[in-house]
A and B are shown apart, each in its own frame.
Chain A
Amino acid sequence: MNLKLDETQLRELAWRRPLTEAELARLEEVLQVNPGTREEWLADARLSEALRQLPQQPGPSNLAARVLAEIDRDRPARSPSQKSPWLLARWQRWAGGATALLLLSGGFWWQQHAQRLAAQQTKALTTFARSTEATQLPSAEALENFEVILRIHPEPLADMELLALGEKLAAMPSHP
């Protein structure tokens, strides 16, 4: 049998309660093998006994009634604080509703704005497309000498007199 284990177990038992006859007999066997620890064991046993005999005060009188009175006293005192969670809940409901409403109206406004923007962009693109289709650009060859052509003396003015004469001649009855 493991004496060390026995000694430890007996010690832990002795810390809690007086050892039984059988346990004391076992302890005697342990102490015969290891007699040097007898004094220590006796001091331990005396300490355990002294701890067990420490006077126990009776405790507060009528404690249960006092505790229940305290609990009852605490109850009405706590009613306002019990109201506050309710108020908080109501406030939270209001805040939640307002936030939801704000989010919905914001979303609606954003949707409208986005639609307007898209329509404007479409319109601008259409106009641009139309304008690019309407006027055909001159050929690349013509544009190559654009600057030179621009600097050439402007074309001669029309001979207005000759034109007037031509109109007159046209207006005259034709000769046979």
Chain B
Amino acid sequence: MPDRPDPDAALMLAVQRGDREAFTQLVGRFQQPIYNFILRTLRDETEAEDLTQVTFVQVWKSAARYSVKARFSTWLYTIARNLCLNEIRRRSRHPADPLDATPDDEDRPAPQYEDRSAPPATDELLHGELQTKLAEALADLPEHQRTAILLCQQEELSYEEIAAVLGCSLSATKSLIFRGRETLKLRLKGYLRTGDWI
């Protein structure tokens, strides 16, 4: 049993009895984090939308198998991750041309050169660039490390629950997060300027 009370478990028990209102509440509560989790994993908005929908359809269909032994969010993220893994496997079996493939030379925009006379880039611009680079670096991480780091950002999940979603031990989970973060820090070295504590 989870050591913290889980209001979502009560909703899920209602869903088990076929309560559509409880189900709507659960979807409303988790659709954004699940969509963003899938989007950061697959980097495709259409597929992320589809898989988010499939995740919740799966929740409804598998409601009878849900046990209050685990937090609802742990169960939900496990379903979402498994669907992502299936999609990643499907992609590796049927590789298609990536949507963001390098354009042909004639389509390529003219190179941009730094205008040294212009004022220095603002923090806002740097921040925007950092976000883009971070999203890219995250996408390039091995799936285990990326999932561990993304789930680590979900405050409602404890390290034990992240380990349950990943299907590995607590120490292995922390090691995955540490190694993933080390890779990110290395790739974003220029952007992670030192300064005051945030």
Question: Which A residues fall within an 8 A CB radius of B?
Answer: 12, 15-19, 24, 39, 42-60, 63-64, 66-68, 70-71, 74
Contacts and interface: CB of A to CB of B under 8 A. Distances in A.
B181 A46 contact: no
Interface string B16-46: 0000100110011001111110011000010
Nearest to A42: B194
A59 B181 contact: no
A57 B185 CA distance: 24
Main secondary structure of the interface of A (DSSP, over half): helix
Interface of B: 20, 23-24, 27-28, 31-36, 39-40, 45, 49, 52-53, 56-57, 60-61, 127, 130-131, 134-135, 149, 152-153, 155, 159, 174, 177, 181, 184-185, 188-189, 191-195, 197-198
B158 to A, nearest CB: 9
B185 A43 contact: yes
Given A54-B134, A54-B135, A64-B23, A47 B32 contact: no
28 contacts: A16-B152, A16-B153, A19-B197, A39-B194, A44-B181, A45-B197, A45-B198, A46-B195, A47-B184, A47-B185, A47-B188, A50-B131, A51-B134, A54-B131, A54-B135, A56-B33, A59-B52, A60-B31, A60-B49, A63-B27, A63-B31, A63-B53, A64-B24, A64-B27, A64-B31, A67-B56, A67-B57, A71-B61
B174 A12 contact: yes
Per CB-CB distance, the 5 closest pairs between chain A and chain B, nearest first, are: A59-B35, A64-B27, A46-B192, A59-B32, A64-B24
Contacts of A53: 127, 131
B52 A52 contact: no
